[in-house]
Structure 1
Amino acid sequence: MSSRVDVPPAGHADEPHAGGLAQRLNWLRAGVLGANDGIVSVAAVVVGVAAATPSRAAVLTAGLAALVGGAISMALGEYVSVSSQSDSEKALIAKEEHELATMPDEEFDELVGLYRERGLSEGTARQVAVELTHHDALGAHLSAELNIDPDDVVSPWHAAWASLLAFLVGGILPMLAVLFIPQPWKIAGTFVVVLVALGAAGALAAWIGGSSRARSVSRVVIGGALALGVTFALGSLLGTTGAV
């Protein structure tokens, strides 16, 4: 009877050692991006329309069109983009499988060379290559040559759904604000709701990417404020001149 005990790989609690990292980052990235775009694009539309006309029906119609159209557009864009990445990764995996099947000796020597380039001695590099090839030849080559995990190829469907749902959630916030905040504070209140939501999305994006929260928040808040300011000015101009 074997007395072997599987020991989980060591690592710090805040480091991403678990499997499926590419998949999780894929849909998290798509979700944060979708929420950010939903907030900004729908807010820009409803603020611009609200500045041009006091009609709730016009604001609701424009907002719903921007919400549904933007969500579908974001989902399609994510699906096409991630599908291209996924297809490329699958093609590289198939190519590596073919090379391992038809020229195993050349591939082994290539693996040894890659480990030597990383600083290992000839003997150590060869021993590492032998052990990893025995354990999982394809995985070893994909990791060393292409930095690909064959069990963690990104899914276009995950990205598409994450982007679609996040856009809808983000876009609903400015619509609710502009529809239900009383008239004297409608535009100003919508600005506040949108900028707070953008700040939260920026902080989440920074947390996911491990970057500076202050820099990420300032980027999206400043960009969102500019977008709202431009569309509000345009809507006010059209409403004042009687063009709408």
Structure 2
Amino acid sequence: MAAHKHPERHKAERIGWLRAAVLGANDGIVSTGSLIVGVAAAHAGRSEILLSGVAGLVAGAMSMAAGEYVSVSSQADTESADLERESKELANDPALEHEELAQIYVERGLDPVLASQVAAQLMAHDALKSHARDELGITDTGAARPIQAALASAATFFVGAALPLGVVLLAPYESLVISVPAASLFFLIALGMVAAHTGGASLLKGALRVGFWGALAMAATALIGKLFGVVTG
């Protein structure tokens, strides 16, 4: 009788792109919303507010893409170097590598005989992948993907930053200091809830986490803008 294969998907499979996407969108809303609030609090005109917001959007999206690419590329380089070294060790001393893998399974609770058998079977199937997963902690799910991370961060930053900019275009000028942070907080809370739902976490915790830090950032820039406006007014 053939075994029934159950196609089971886990939330952890989404962690790579989800982290980059949430980080990009969150930064886009917070940084652009805060920038707009700060400039508006300094009594700048609508055109100056829009210009600063667009400049922040473009600069932020490029910065996010570059930062993610460099960071994740460094991780990818480290993983590649570790895998290359492990491959050489497997070729030079497979018996020692078998002992190392078996000892890992012993530490996880298997008895030594069974651990040795498991290590032997896994190495016969794919020795490098077995050591990458259980010795180095490198898996397909968590593998570094620099281009994917860079594009996800830049795109989501752009979308996030466009939201408070849209409020600047649509809301009355006199209410921008209130309407922009209010709308930005709404967007942040919605983002936190969507991210939490996608990752299988608590919706309330996700909403409060991003809402608190977003509110703090916008309050700080509003205060600076207000002080700057008083000094130069």
Whether these two folds match at TM > 0.5 is: yes
Match of 2:66 in 1: 76
**How high is the sequence identity, in percent, across the aligned residues?**
44
Q: Specify which of 43, 48, 60 is matched with residue 33 of structure 2.
A: 43
One-letter amino acid of the counterpart of residue 148, structure 1: I
1:158 maps to 2:155: no
Match of 1:196 in 2: 186
CA deviation after TM superposition for structure 1 residue 102, in Å: 0.7
CA deviation after TM superposition for structure 1 residue 80, in Å: 1.1
Tell me the SS of whatever aligns to 1:125. helix
Q: 1:32·1:204 contact (CA, 8 Å) conserved in 2? A: no
Q: Distance in 2 between matches of 1:229 and 1:111?
A: 53
Q: Specify which of 114, 121, 130 is matched with residue 111 of structure 2.
A: 121
Q: 2:11·2:200 contact (CA, 8 Å) conserved in 1? A: no
Shift in alpha-carbon separation, 1:102–1:164, aligned structure 2, 3 A = same
Shift in alpha-carbon separation, 1:27–1:16, aligned structure 2, 3 A = closer
Q: How does 1:90-239 map to 2 (within 5 A)?
A: 90-149=80-139, 153-239=143-229
One-letter amino acid of the counterpart of residue 107, structure 1: E
One-letter amino acid of the counterpart of residue 62, structure 1: S
CA deviation after TM superposition for structure 1 residue 16, in Å: 4.5
Tell me the SS of whatever aligns to 1:53. coil
Match of 1:26 in 2: 16
Tell me the SS of whatever aligns to 1:130. helix
One-letter amino acid of the counterpart of residue 112, structure 2: E
Q: Give the alignment's TM-score, normalised by structure 2.
A: 0.90
Tell me the SS of whatever aligns to 1:211. coil
Shift in alpha-carbon separation, 1:151–1:225, aligned structure 2, 3 A = closer
Q: 2:196·2:203 contact (CA, 8 Å) conserved in 1? A: yes
Q: Distance in 2 between matches of 1:40 and 1:220?
A: 9
Q: Which runs of 5+ in 2 are unaligned?
A: none
One-letter amino acid of the counterpart of residue 188, structure 1: I
One-letter amino acid of the counterpart of residue 145, structure 2: S
1:53 maps to 2:43: yes
Shift in alpha-carbon separation, 1:10–1:113, aligned structure 2, 3 A = farther
CA deviation after TM superposition for structure 1 residue 194, in Å: 0.3
Q: Distance in 1 between matches of 2:69 and 2:121?
A: 38
Q: Distance in 1 between matches of 2:140 and 2:229?
A: 57
CA deviation after TM superposition for structure 1 residue 222, in Å: 1.8
- Give the superposed CA RMSD: 2.2
Shift in alpha-carbon separation, 1:60–1:16, aligned structure 2, 3 A = closer
One-letter amino acid of the counterpart of residue 97, structure 1: S
CA deviation after TM superposition for structure 1 residue 237, in Å: 2.8
Q: Give the alignment's TM-score, normalised by structure 1.
A: 0.86
Shift in alpha-carbon separation, 1:218–1:152, aligned structure 2, 3 A = closer
CA deviation after TM superposition for structure 1 residue 95, in Å: 0.9
